[in-house]
Structure 1
Amino acid sequence: MSANPITLIVLAIVALVAAVIYAYKRWGWVRNVVQAAWRGIQTAALWAWNVVLKPTFAALMVAVRFVGRVA
């Protein structure tokens, strides 16, 4: 098998996604697991935005405005 390693990685990801979609449509317990995982991802992303990113961007804007006034 002399395929490019990146091609093999992309094919593996595509196969994994196809398997998850097939299992999601076929078995209810897989659907429940995927939905629970997605809710966890949403919760983590929302936490990261509200607790980390939003305050960081606000502080950066304050710093940029300060530098703009001083310069």
Structure 2
Amino acid sequence: MRIELDRAKCTGLGICESFAPDFFEVDDDGDLIMHKDSVTADELAAVEEAVHSCPTEALRILRESEVARS
């Protein structure tokens, strides 16, 4: 699975960082840094929480079948 970020929608609130700090960080300028975009089964719960908590819907998880098409 892979995380997709729509930078046009991201406002840098950092809610995703609070749920999955290994994946997301908001820098001093308010820009989101993705430390990694590949998600393992063990990491999925935290990443799903981060994605579902994003108020601007800037994040989404692409399943394997969707990754192959992109």
Q: What is the TM-score with the length of structure 1 in the denominator?
A: 0.27
Structure with greater strand percent: 2
Higher relative contact order (CA 8 A, sep 6+): 2
**TM-score normalised by the chain length of structure 2:** 0.27
- Looking at secondary structure, tell me which structure has more helix per residue: 1
Larger-gyration structure (1/2): 1
